[in-house]
């Protein structure tokens, strides 16, 4: 199977990129069996709304992963109990709304999407390593894609090596800067430290520089504004062996708005 994963989508510019670039990617890199996007910043740069989620599904997205900003739009949080194609990190406490794993089925193929969040420089939640172990005991398909939403490159690399040979891919999100370390690990798991960002690359990790710089210069709170300059879609394409669940090929995507 072939999977396209689109890195952290930032606000309206990110949604515009998906609408514009995804059809071209389907022609150049597809056909894709599944398309997954990290959408935790899709609504104005912070969180999700029902309208934004519906728009992404209408564009052909099969599932949406998130991270620490999943709770930012409080009105959407209850919907996590109803729409299982929108994931929240699985290592939040079980009492939190939503789920961190979803098995997608299409054309006779089955792919499990697992969403985890790191703990280094992030909120104190359950151990992603042990939570991953528990999930893998229950998932009944060898094809498993992991979005690890984490700050520290060391923690991301560690989880990639820990799960090598047990999942199809471990990709990092959250830092919004695409890294150049994509590889297939020794036991067959595709890995990259960070997939990157889908939005305006002309500012500071998706936000206008003019709204971010005052916070660094004065240490006072400022309201961030979504950047609309240098629009680019970052992602990865992974080909997976249906029977073994291991990666056959793995490559980065970096496309500009047409």
What is the C-alpha to C-alpha distance for residues 102 and 100, in angstroms, rounded to an integer? 7
Is position 8 annotated in a ligand binding site?
A: yes
Strands 169-173 and 144-149 turn out to be: parallel
Is position 234 annotated in a ligand binding site?
A: no
- Determine which one of 15, 69, 156, 232 is catalytic: 69
Instruction: Give burial (CB, 10 Å; 0-12/13-18/19+) of 51.
Output: exposed
Is position 176 annotated in a ligand binding site?
A: yes
Is position 68 annotated in a ligand binding site?
A: yes
Own/partner pairs, 158-162, CB within 8 angstroms, 24+ separation:
158/129, 159/116, 159/118, 159/128, 159/129, 159/132, 160/185, 160/189, 160/191, 161/185, 162/129, 162/132
Is position 174 annotated in a ligand binding site?
A: yes
Is position 82 annotated in a ligand binding site?
A: no
The question of whether 69 is a catalytic residue gets the answer yes
Is position 40 annotated in a ligand binding site?
A: yes
CA-nearest of 77, 84, 79, 105 to 1 is 105
Which residue ranges are tagged as binding site?
Answer: 8, 40-41, 68, 149, 174, 176
Which residue ranges are tagged as binding site for Fe cation?
Answer: 8, 40-41, 68, 149, 174, 176
**Catalytic sites, residue numbers:** 69
């Amino acid at each position: 199977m072939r999977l396209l994963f689109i890195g952290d989508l930032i606000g309206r510019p990110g949604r515009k990129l998906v609408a514009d670039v995804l059809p071209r990617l389907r022609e150049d890199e597809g056909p894709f069996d599944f398309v997954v996007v990290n959408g935790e910043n899709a609504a104005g740069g912070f969180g999700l709304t029902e309208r934004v989620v519906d728009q992404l599904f209408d564009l052909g997205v099969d599932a949406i992963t998130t991270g620490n900003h999943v709770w930012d739009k409080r009105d959407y949080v209850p919907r996590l109990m109803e729409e299982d194609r929108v994931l929240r990190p699985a290592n939040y406490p079980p009492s939190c709304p939503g789920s961190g794993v979803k098995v997608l089925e299409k054309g006779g193929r089955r792919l499990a999407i697992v969403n985890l969040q790191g703990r280094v420089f992030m909120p104190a939640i359950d151990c992603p390593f042990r939570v991953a172990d528990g999930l893998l005991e229950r998932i009944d398909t060898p094809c498993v894609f992991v979005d690890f939403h984490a700050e520290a490159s060391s923690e991301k690399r560690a989880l990639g090596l820990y799960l090598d040979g047990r999942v199809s891919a471990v990709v990092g999100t959250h830092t919004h800067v695409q890294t150049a370390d994509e590889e297939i690990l020794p036991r067959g798991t595709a890995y990259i430290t960070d997939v990157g960002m889908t939005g305006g690359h002309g500012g500071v990790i998706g936000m206008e520089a003019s709204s971010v710089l005052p916070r660094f210069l004065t240490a006072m709170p400022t309201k961030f504004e979504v950047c609309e300059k240098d629009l680019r879609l970052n992602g990865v394409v992974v080909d997976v062996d249906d029977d073994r669940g291991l990666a056959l090929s793995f490559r980065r995507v970096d496309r500009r708005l047409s």
